[in-house]
Amino acid sequence: MSDQTTSAFDARHAWTTLSRKDPAKRSAHDRIADFLEIYGFYDEVEAREQASRCVQCPEPTCVAGCPLGTNIPEWLALTAEGHFAEAAAALHSGNNLPEICARVCPADHLCEAQCLISGQAQPVSIWAVEQFLNEYAFTHGIVKPSVAPPNGRHVAIAGAGPGGLACADGLIRRGFAVTIFDRRELPGGLLVYGTPEFHLERSIVQRRVELLRQQGVVFELGTPYAEETALPALLQRFDAVYLAFGAKVPRSLALPGADLNGVHQAVPFLLQAGVDHPGSKLLVGGRRVVVIGGGDTAIDCARTAIRRGAAETTVVYRRDAGSLPCMRRDYEAAVEEGVRFIFQATPVAILAQAAGGVTGLQLARTSMGAPDPEGRRPFEIKAGDSYILSADVVFLALGFDPAPPPPTSPSRLLDLGEHGEIKVNARQMTSLPGVFAGGDLVRGPCTALAAVRDARMAVEGIEAYVGTRKPLG
């Protein structure tokens, strides 16, 4: 099908006759043999059909459900009409990293959860149309390096995660010179050093980084912000600074046995099973793995253990299946790949043999209470109702807390919240004029999309701020 208008699709009523169809997945048997992404892409006919399921409601609820407020109905309508280039341009104008967000964004909890037809039919497959448009845009040369005439201002960004990359893209498009510092050798932050490749292939992040380089963004990698590029020094050299170094610490478990050999945090395992492999030290092959938690990290960890040859992989989650915070499609993929789920159970002790290795967990059953005003259902441990689950390796995926900056850190120059998070105003400016911050660093654990949202606000803030200042001599 060509990129031309036809009237074959009625964009308002198609959902009554057309069912939702997600893109084809590779078979579970094939995909657990590698770390590649599991979904294919719509072809042009499928993309048009699925986009035509959007009812184009006058007050689009999906837009309200998107942290970026992306004009989703606009690019769905353009897709339904076959105007793929225009649709891709509309999508890319509202999001600096759409090809990344489409892969990792929890659409079923955000835009798709708000889709007007939900309840009467399956919501429009917004994430998959977005995936199609991104692929179309890159393969048809619609995404090009784009720069504005230089404005003579230079901004330093600390942290090359999604927040830092999105901020760099926004600034360079407005004529700023941009230098990003990151302590790691690869840009991408948790997108590269946390998210497994079956979720987001590293080449997708590299493609975006390459585009930013072509636009003139300078990457200074292997350079910790806290040392060579400390805040006061940055303020001498740059017109403004954006802090996006996402500091956070994984939560631990206060239980008997939590410090046993064989109990590990999930993220270091993901890191070494992904980027650092094959130098991996934490081996799970042939072992019984139990993952505690129910968020993205827990599911990613379980699916990684399966790919690394675990004999059995079980996720233990304290609430019911309907309360799982991870994406629904990831849960379904995990089940297909052989991950077992135990719901409404929580560990009360981790058990060991005399030599010290883990042998299992004592799990207490829980009961679910009525939803609170935010719809979250609390759980309670059922007294005296527990059992043993055998395990050789236990991974903790219990969420994160913001990491308060160390006493010597230049971040101490800034006003901090009670958990050590950096305080910002509506345009992401900290208490120190010219220093902006966003993403996990400010919010605690959040999402890539929220980091992009903060970066877009910061670009507005930085532009307004430097407009009031003389350029550095």
Residue type, 41: F
**Distance between CA atoms of 271 and 209, rounded to whole angstroms?**
20
346: β partners: 364
Q: Which helix (H) or strand (E) holds 164?
A: helix 162-172
φ/ψ bin of 365: left (φ > 0), alpha (ψ from -120 to 50), beta (otherwise): beta
Q: Which is nearer to ligand FAD, 226 or 342 (CB)?
A: 226
**Distance between CA atoms of 249 and 286, rounded to whole angstroms?**
30
159 binds ligand FAD (CB under 6 A): yes
Query: Which among 126, 125, 129, 122 has a CA at the least distance from the CA of 16?
Result: 122
Residue type, 200: L
**Distance between CA atoms of 75 and 93, rounded to whole angstroms?**
11
Query: Within positions 191 to 210, which residues make up the interface with ligand FAD, using CB under 6 A?
Result: 191, 194-195
CA 388 from centroid of its chain's CA atoms: 34
CA 81 from centroid of its chain's CA atoms: 30
Q: Which is nearer to ligand FAD, 55 or 234 (CB)?
A: 234
Tell me which stretch binds ligand FAD (CB under 6 A): 11-19, 37-45, 255-263, 438-446: 438-446
Q: Which is nearer to ligand FAD, 48 or 248 (CB)?
A: 248
Q: Which is nearer to ligand FAD, 49 or 197 (CB)?
A: 197
189 binds ligand FAD (CB under 6 A): yes
SS3 state of residue 181:
strand
Q: What are the Cα distances from residue 421, in Å, to 194, 404, 445?
A: 21, 7, 11
439 binds ligand FAD (CB under 6 A): yes
Q: Which of 168, 234, 235, 270 binds ligand FAD (CB under 6 A)?
A: 270
Nearest-10 Cα torsion for 307, 320, 326, 428: -150
Q: Which is nearer to ligand FAD, 82 or 405 (CB)?
A: 405
> Within a 13 Å sphere around the CA of 269, how many CA atoms are in the beta-carbon half?
28
Q: Which of 21, 109, 183, 427 binds ligand FAD (CB under 6 A)?
A: 183
Residue type, 46: E
- To 10 degrees, what angle do helices 72-80 and 44-51 make? 130
> Which pair of tokens denotes residue 150?
């230089």
Tell me which stretch binds ligand FAD (CB under 6 A): 3-11, 218-226, 274-282, 361-369: 218-226
Q: Which of 23, 65, 73, 246 binds ligand FAD (CB under 6 A)?
A: 246
Q: What are the Cα distances from residue 352, in Å, to 32, 311, 349, 360?
A: 30, 19, 10, 7
Tell me which stretch binds ligand FAD (CB under 6 A): 11-19, 180-188, 251-259, 346-354: 180-188
Q: Which of 226, 230, 351, 416 binds ligand FAD (CB under 6 A)?
A: 226
Q: Which of 267, 275, 391, 398 binds ligand FAD (CB under 6 A)?
A: 267
160 binds ligand FAD (CB under 6 A): yes
The least distance separating ligand FAD from the CB of residue 163, rounded to whole angstroms, comes to 3
392 binds ligand FAD (CB under 6 A): no
> Which pair of tokens denotes residue 240?
């403004």
Q: Which of 104, 111, 231, 263 binds ligand FAD (CB under 6 A)?
A: 104
Q: Which of 304, 314, 366, 447 binds ligand FAD (CB under 6 A)?
A: 447
Total residues in contact with ligand FAD, by rule CB under 6 A: 38
Q: Which is nearer to ligand FAD, 15 or 225 (CB)?
A: 225
Tell me which stretch binds ligand FAD (CB under 6 A): 56-64, 113-121, 127-135, 175-183: 175-183
Which residue ranges make up the site for ligand FAD (CB under 6 A)?
Answer: 104-105, 158-164, 181-184, 189-191, 194-195, 224-226, 244-247, 267, 270, 296-297, 300, 439-441, 446-449, 451
